[in-house]
Chain A
C-alpha cells in the first residue's frame, strides 16, 4: 500500500520534472495552446446554444435557471484554479521547480476573475430566486474569502521586493488557504444555508434532467479547457518575459521598456 503510494508520487514527480524545463514547457505551450483555445470557443458556443435555446425552464425557478450555465462553471473554475495554484505551490516548495511558481502566479488573476464572476452571477441569480442580492450564507461567505485569498496571493508577489521571499510567502499563503476549498465544497452540508446543496457530484449521479445537465457539462468542459489555455499562455508569457529580462540585464540595458507595470 505504502509502496504503491510512493510509486505514484514518484511518477507524478517525474511527470512534472519533464516540464520543469522552461524551454520544453514553451514548446508544449506553442504546440497545443491554439487548439485548446479553438476547442474552448467551440464548446462555449455549443453550450450557449444548448443552454439559452434548447434547455427547458426549471419547474420552480423558471428561466432564471439559465444563469446556472455560467455561474456553476465559473465557481467550478474558481475552485479548480485554486486547487491547481496550491498544487503548483506545493511542487515549488518540495521540488523547487522553476515553472511551478510561474504557473501558480499565472493562475491567480484567472482564479480571481472567475471567483468574482461566480460571486456576481450568483448574486444576480439570488435576486429572482431568494429575493436578495446577497446573504451572509456559509457558501457565499467562504467563496468571498477565496476571493480575498487570491487577492492576497497577488499582492504578495507584487509588493514584496525580494522575489525569493515573495515566492516563499505566496506559497505559504496558497497552501494555508487551501483549507478553504473543502470548506466551500461542504459548506452547504455542514451549515444551514440558502444555497442549494450539491446536485452534480452526488451519490447516485447528478439529480438533474438530461436536457439541463448536458449544457451545464458542456459549459464546465468549455471553462476547464479555457482555464488550461490561460495557464499555458500565461506561463509561456512569463517564461519569455523572464528570459528577455535576463538578456536585457546581460546587455546592460534598462528593464523599464520590457514590462513597465512589473516591479523588478
Chain B
C-alpha cells in the first residue's frame, strides 16, 4: 500500500497531467495514422482545392479514387504550377510544410499523404499539452489526471484524427482551436509571467483558424467576443493594450479578408445550394412560395440538386441561363427575407442542421486504403468511443442547443460577476470564452443554412461540436477543480 502511494508520489512528481495527455494522444494518433492498416478520410471531391494550388495532383489509376478508399500516393508537379489558388486558405501552410518534408525524406515526384499526417500530428500534440495544462493548472491531483484522460478521449477521438490523413481543411481548425482555448485559459490563470507569448499564440491561432476555410469568416465575430476578456488582463500598459486591440482588429480583419477572397465560383456554389438545399427544403411544394418572392416557380424543381452534380443533372447550374435567371435574381438578403416570411420552414431547417450535430465522423467516405482488404466506404471504429456516444445521445434539436448555450453562459456569468467585483481575472476571461464558444454553437447553424442550405452540413458545422466539446471539458474540469463559481485557488490538498 505504501509502495503504491510512494510510486504515485514519484509519478506525480515527474509526470504532469499534460504530459500524460500528450503521451496518450501521441500513441493513439500514431496507431490511427501510421500503423498499418493506416486510416484517414477518402476524397469526397473537395481535395482538389488543397491539392492543385500546392502542386499536388492525382496519379492516374484504373480504380476510382473517390469516396470508397483512402488514397495515399499522389504526384508532385515537376514544373511550373499553372493552377491558380482555388481557395485562399491557411491550410496551405500545413500542406506546403508536408511537401517540403516529403521531398526531403521521401521523393520529389510522389507525395505520400502520411507526411501531411505527420505535420498535423506534430502540430496537434503541443495543442493537447497546452489545453491540458490550461485545464489542470498547476495541480497534480488524481482529478487532474482524470481531466487529462478526458482531453485525450474527446480531442484525440478518431473522428477528428482521421482528418489528418486527408486534404480536408478541418485538421488546421482543430489544432488552432486547441491553441486558442489553451492560450486563453492559461492567460486567464496568470501562471505564466511572459504573457506576450501566450497572446501571440492566441492571435496567430485565431487568424489561422479563421483563414482556414471560407465559411469560417463569420466566426471572426465569435473570436472577437472571446478576445474581449483580454482587455481585463491586469497591469496592461497602454502599448500592450494597443497590441491586444491590434490583435482583435487582426481577428476581425482576417474574417473580412477571408470573406472578400471567396471567389466567384465558390460564391455561386454557395448561393445556388442555399436555394436548392435550403429555400426549397423542408416545405411541401415550394413552387408558389418562391413565385411570391419574385422567382420563377419552375426553379422549385431544383430541390436537392447539387451545384456539382454527383452523376447527372437536368441543366448545368453554371450555365449562362441559370446564372442570369436564377443566381443573378437573388442574394443572401433575399434568402434572409424569405426565411423571415417562412419562419416555420427555417426552424425545421435548423432542426435538420442540429439533428446529427455531434456525429463528427464523416460517414460519406471510407476510412481505409484499398490494400487493407476492407470494403469500400468502411468506417474505422478504433477510438471512437466519445464521438459514438455523443452522436447517439446528444439531442438533435436546435432549441436544445440554444437552451444549452443560455445555461452555460448563465453558469459562467456567475463566476464572471464574482471575479469582476473581486478584481480577479480568471472568471471574466473564461466567461467571454464561453460566450464566444456558445455564439458559435448558436450562430453557425444559422449561417450554414442561409449560406449553403443543408448541403455538406456535417462539414460546415464542424466548429459546433468542437465548441461544445471545449465547453464540456471546461465545465467538467471546473467542477473537478472546484472553480465553477468561485475561482479563487484552493490549497493543493493531495498534491
Q: Do A and B bind each other?
A: no
List chain A positions with a Cβ less than 8 A from chain B. Answer: none
Give B contacts to A, CB under 8 Å: none
